[in-house]
Amino acid sequence: MAGIVARGVGKHYPLAKTDKLALSNVDLNVQDGEFICLLGPSGCGKTTLLNILGGLEPASQGTVRFTGVGDPRRGYMFQEPRLLPWLSVRDNLRFVLDQRTRSEALDSWLKRVGLGGYGDYFPAQLSVGMQQRAAVARALITEPEVLFMDEPFSALDELTALRLRDELLGLWHERRCTVVFVTHNPLEAVYLADRVLVMSPSPGRITQEIRVGEHFPRPRELEDAALWRLSRGVVGLLMGEGALT
Ligand code: ADP
Ligand code: MG
């Protein structure tokens, strides 16, 4: 199992005239098995930070290290499903595993994300919501110790997003992997997270920490008035810092 420690992380992108400073001096601790949400306005550097934490992009300054033994297995999910269009849904799952993995094992995962019977379909034959379900299965089938998720549900209709959030929480509850989840949706953040880290507008820094887990035990209710009030408070926080988009 694994946690994450980031110290003094900065990022600048070299541009033709001046460098773009995307992140400035980010310190972060994520505990093993913790579910954290990075929340902030569009363009504040959430994706940049997630990619640096996940090892997909180098930092310009600072360090990121994993706690625990060795290099943890990592899983990724993005705003778009990013399935390989020329492979069936079943073969998209097989692609991230041993190629000899038996179809029954893959199909049981498809069933768990509500895609039982769709193994032979190609991505283009499924709705985006169904494709994103397949992406959830693909991210979790490798049994990651740390899961990095970049606005995975924000392109979905709200009903599908509601279901997928609960499915994700169910799977996380079973496996207790560490999750870093990026969103610009305050209600989603307080519903999902043990801890919400609020980022400032660009250049992104972590300006607030909301320890949701201390006040809202799980399972939570999305209709819980206190949770709504908290999310409204977070909106206010963000409005003070910059507009939500
Ligand atoms: P968010 O995910 O919060 O919307 P990003 O991390 O994508 O924000 O981007 C943060 C800032 O860095 C933005 O101003 C964006 O324009 C800039 N940026 C992101 N990627 C690049 C890149 N490859 N080159 C130059 N600027 C970039
Ligand atoms: Mg982003």
Q: Whole domain around residue 113: which residue ranges?
A: 82-142
Ligand nearest to the CA of 151: 2
Q: Which of 90, 116, 142 is the last residue of a domain?
A: 142
pLDDT of residue 243: 47
Same domain, 63 and 178: yes
pLDDT of residue 17: 82
Same domain, 96 and 194: no
The average confidence (pLDDT) of the chain is 93
Q: Record the pTM.
A: 0.94
- pLDDT tens digit sequence for 112-146: 899 999 999 999 999 999 999 999 999 999 999 99
- pLDDT above 70 for 228: yes
- pLDDT above 60 for 244: no
pLDDT category at 241 given cuts 50, 70, 90 is: low
- pLDDT above 80 for 229: yes
- pLDDT above 50 for 82: yes
How far apart are the CA of 98 and the centre of ligand 1, in A? 35
Mutate to test the pocket of ligand 1, among 12, 39, 47, 78 (most ligand atoms within 8 A of CB): 47
Q: Which of 10-19, 49-58, 184-193 has the lowest mean pLDDT?
A: 10-19
Mutate to test the pocket of ligand 1, among 53, 80, 184, 202 (most ligand atoms within 8 A of CB): 202
Q: How many domains does the chain have?
A: 2
Same domain, 6 and 61: yes
Three-state DSSP string of the chain? CCEEEEEEEEEEECCCCCCEEEEEEEEEEECCCCEEEEECCCCCCHHHHHHHHCCCCCCCEEEEEEECCCCCCEEEECCCCCCCCCCCHHHHHHHCCCCCCCHHHHHHHHHHCCCCCCCCCCHHHCCHHHHHHHHHHHHHCCCCCEEEEECCCCCCCHHHHHHHHHHHHHHHHHHCCEEEEEECCHHHHHHHCCEEEEECCCCECEEEEECHHHHCCCCCCCCCHHHHHHHHHHHHHHHHHCCCC
